[in-house]
Amino acid sequence: MTAGSRAKLSGRVLEVPAARERGLRAWLLRPALSAGIVFRATLAVLVIATLAAPVTRLRAEMSGVDDALGHASLPWLAGAGAAETVCYLALAGMIGRLLGHGPGLSRFVALRLSVVIYGLGSVLPGSPAPGLAMATAELRSRGVPVARFATAFFWCVWFNLRGFLVLAALTSTMVTLRGLVPSGSAGIVLGAALLVLAGLTLTTALAGC
């Protein structure tokens, strides 16, 4: 080994402890809590405190839920869970088609958005605003333009409203035909249900033109 190579090797050996010392000094001098961590921790405490009162009140109001679930039929519960899963998958497909394809917009992201908007956002106070706010923050972090996801959310609400009206009309028709509506109001209920279904059919036909 020549003198030059020995000098280079000794210089590298001396650089390693120096680098470690600088890294250790930087680690010791770093701030214990950054402003971002303090803000997130404070926000989490405020959210938990805000949700504590409604959850406590709901727990008192739903004291018989555990007993009712204990006597529920397991096949019915499994069927309900399967139906709920299918609903979320359908909602994820709708959200995915409305948002379109792009970087960071996979099917799994669409499924997460459907669970946040229609699942978590439906049980939080002030629903559906919390779910929409969380979905908006997620899409903005992925670089989706505001106009794009605002339009998608508008059509989500539009399709949900139409689905609710169809369900309400069919339910009203069923209970009327089964004689659960007073005879004096049966005609009015059936007429309103048929009018709603006709209006939805007409708007669907016009949209397809």
pLDDT score at 94: 86
**Does 30 map to a domain?**
no
**Does 11 map to a domain?**
no
Q: What interhelical angle do 74-99 and 107-114 show, nearest 10?
A: 120
Q: How many domains does the chain have?
A: 2
Q: 187 and 161: one domain?
A: yes
Q: 168 and 208: one domain?
A: yes
Q: 200 and 151: one domain?
A: yes
φ/ψ (deg, to 5) at 207:
-70, -30
**Does 184 map to a domain?**
yes
**Does 101 map to a domain?**
yes
Range of the domain at 88: 38-51+75-144
**Does 23 map to a domain?**
no
Task: Provide the pLDDT confidence category of residue 42 given band limits of 50, 70 and 90.
Answer: confident
CA distance 27 to 40: 22
Q: 175 and 137: one domain?
A: no
Q: Final residue of a domain: which of 144, 160, 188?
A: 144
Q: 132 and 81: one domain?
A: yes
88, 119 Cβ separation under 8 angstroms: yes
Q: How far is CA 146 from CA 59, 115, 131, 150, in A?
A: 38, 20, 16, 6
Q: Which residue has the higher pLDDT, 39 or 145?
A: 145
CA distance 113 to 136: 9
Q: 47 and 123: one domain?
A: yes
CA distance 76 to 66: 16
Q: 161 and 204: one domain?
A: yes
The whole-model pTM stands at 0.56
132, 121 Cβ separation under 8 angstroms: yes
Query: pLDDT for 171-195, tens place per residue?
Result: 988 888 888 888 788 888 889 989 9
* Two tokens, residue 191: 């007429």
**What average pLDDT does the segment 12-32 reach?**
51
Q: Which residue has the higher pLDDT, 16 or 141?
A: 141
Q: Final residue of a domain: which of 106, 124, 144?
A: 144
pLDDT score at 28: 47
Which of 30-34, 93-97, 162-166, 181-185 comes out lowest in average pLDDT? 30-34
Query: pLDDT for 99-141, tens place per residue?
Result: 877 666 788 888 888 888 888 767 777 777 788 888 888 888 8
Please list, in sequence order, all residues whose beta carbon lies within 8 angstroms of the beta carbon of residue 43, skipping any fewer than 6 positions away.
none
Per DSSP, helices labelled H in the chain are 3-29, 35-61, 65-70, 74-99, 107-114, 121-123, 129-141, 146-177, 183-208
Q: How many residues does the chain have?
A: 209
Q: Final residue of a domain: which of 144, 162, 183?
A: 144
**Does 200 map to a domain?**
yes
- Is the C-alpha dihedral spanning 184, 185, 191, 197 positive or negative? negative
pLDDT score at 27: 47
Amino acid at 60: A
Q: 198 and 117: one domain?
A: no
pLDDT score at 8: 46
Task: Provide the pLDDT confidence category of residue 36 given band limits of 50, 70 and 90.
Answer: low
Query: pLDDT for 54-105, tens place per residue?
Result: 666 666 666 666 666 677 788 888 888 899 899 889 888 888 888 877 666 7
pLDDT score at 13: 44
Task: Provide the pLDDT confidence category of residue 206 given band limits of 50, 70 and 90.
Answer: confident
